[in-house]
């Protein structure tokens, strides 16, 4: 994550209704606050970029040092979804689906549960 990614973050959040589940970004100043939050411990965040090095998504983890684990989160600008980019960026194993977990714009949406253990084989 780079400090200058705030405009791309704001654009990504405006790209789809479901982005509201990822944080409260509505404009450039809130995008700047979100980038600052991502760059602070106990988080590690890596931008997913396009060929022009423009941020189009994010892979992040909030680290829980006491349990030697973390909570993984990711998102992708709506224009870049469905191309397998996030699958290549994250390498996590699909463990299950929480059907209808979230209500977004009056519609129930599924949430995928994914995980990765140190003992898992490397991603393809």
Give the orientation angle of helix 6-14 with respect to helix 28-38, to 10 degrees: 110
Short-list 60, 55, 57, CA closest to 78: 57
CB 86 within 8 A of CB 48: yes
* 57-105 tens-digit pLDDT: 999 999 999 999 888 899 999 999 999 888 787 888 889 999 999 888 8
Taking every pair of Cα atoms in the chain, the longest distance, rounded to a whole number of angstroms, is 41
Tell me how crowded residue 75 is: count the other CB atoms within 10 A of its CB: 23
* 11-33 tens-digit pLDDT: 999 999 889 888 999 999 999 99
CB 33 within 8 A of CB 10: no
Domain count, the chain: 1
Supply angle C-alpha 100, 68, 21, rounded to 5. 30
In a domain, 75, yes or no: yes
Which residues are CB-neighbours of 5 under 8 A, at least 6 positions away?
Answer: 35, 47, 55
In a domain, 30, yes or no: yes
CB 46 within 8 A of CB 60: yes
In a domain, 73, yes or no: yes
pLDDT value for 25: 97
In a domain, 122, yes or no: no
Q: Which domain holds residue 13?
A: 3-91
In a domain, 74, yes or no: yes
| E strand or H helix that includes residue 24 | none
In a domain, 84, yes or no: yes
pLDDT value for 15: 97
In a domain, 10, yes or no: yes
pTM score, whole prediction: 0.80
In a domain, 106, yes or no: no
CATH of residue 38? 3.40.630.30
């Amino acid at each position: 994550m780079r400090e200058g990614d705030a405009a791309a973050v704001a654009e990504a959040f405006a790209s789809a209704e479901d982005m509201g589940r990822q944080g409260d970004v509505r404009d450039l100043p809130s995008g700047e606050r979100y980038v600052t939050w991502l760059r602070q411990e106990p988080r590690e965040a890596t931008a997913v970029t396009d060929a022009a090095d423009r941020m189009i998504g994010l892979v992040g983890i909030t680290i829980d040092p006491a349990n030697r684990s973390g909570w993984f989160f990711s998102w992708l600008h709506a224009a870049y979804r469905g191309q397998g980019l996030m699958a290549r960026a994250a390498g996590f194993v699909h463990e299950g689906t929480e059907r209808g977990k979230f209500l977004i714009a009056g519609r129930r949406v599924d949430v995928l549960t994914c995980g990765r253990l140190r003992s898992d084989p490397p991603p393809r």
